[in-house]
Structure 1
Amino acid sequence: MNQTAEQELRPEAIALRNEYAALDDKLSNRYIELDPQGYFIIYVDRDAKLICADHFSNVINDKGLACDPETGEPLPCSGSLKRLPTATFRGRTAKELCIEIFEKAQPCPISHLDHAAYLGREFVRAEIALLSGQDYVQD
């Protein structure tokens, strides 16, 4: 948010926004069971005006870690691991992207409801970034 817009917010709104940001950070650090159907890397294609979601397969080992199905090695959370997606989904809006994944893809690449809820939240964040021109970084 730019400084002019920040100045237009009332102190109560700023405090509430900070409280919600702290809650969001706390909830983002909880344990979640990984989806054995795979994971998504979400990004914005500004030139095409699309929200994109690359789906990658994985297996979950006995420690609950996502592993490469070919090597069995745990997948790093960051770095330059290069894998090919099993599918790429695109939509102009969060809703269109959800329809592509949850209603049209057969079989559906999501098996956990918490994963579906997370993706919906991330797609909305990506849509807002696409419309506002802000950067999008997946949570």
Structure 2
Amino acid sequence: MTQAVFNPVAFDDKLSNRFIELDPSGYFIIYVDRASRLICAEHYTNTINEKGLACDPETGEPLPCGGELKRRPTKTFKGRTAKELCIEVFEKPETCCVSRLDHAAYLGREFVRAEQCLLSDREYVQD
């Protein structure tokens, strides 16, 4: 009997396709600012409709997953490392805008990925 070989990429892809309950406190767009050598996280508010979709709080329309974002962030966080950014986003009560632990865990993972890309000059694409 042969043992199946663990494929971490396929496993990660499978986990990325699970159902995720959205955070009613909003969502983040994460990017790397190479000129400033910073990891940036823009926070946007949203509402969640009866189908579980994130909607623009002003129009009530579902937010598109792709394309150009035409909204202003409520806050922009910046850090030189994932740890610094996590402290800015999660540990300051006056700026914390995350209400779900799974959302916080996801953001932490993404901040680490963004830091790795920043340090290795690779392109960062948010998962």
Shorter-chain TM-score above 0.5: yes
State the one-letter code of the partner of 1:32: I
Contact 2:37 2:80 (C-alpha < 8 Å) held by counterparts: yes
1:59 is aligned to 2:51: no
Aligned-partner Cα distance in 1 for 2:104–2:121 = 25
Q: Taking structure 2 as the reference length, what is the TM-score of the superposition?
A: 0.94
1:70 is aligned to 2:55: no
C-alpha RMSD of matched pairs (Å): 1.1
Contact 2:89 2:95 (C-alpha < 8 Å) held by counterparts: no
How many aligned positions are there? 123
2:81 aligned to which of 80, 89, 93: 93
Match of 1:123 in 2: 111
Match of 2:126 in 1: 138
Greater Rg, structure 1 or structure 2? 1
Give SS of 1:55's match.
strand
Aligned-partner Cα distance in 2 for 1:43–1:77 = 16
1:109 is aligned to 2:109: no
Q: Which runs of 5+ in 2 are unaligned?
A: none
Q: Taking structure 1 as the reference length, what is the TM-score of the superposition?
A: 0.86
Bigger shift: residues 21-30 or 101-110: 101-110
Q: Which has the higher helix share?
A: 1
Runs of 4+ in 1 over 3 A off after TM superposition: none
Offset at 1:107?
Answer: 4.9
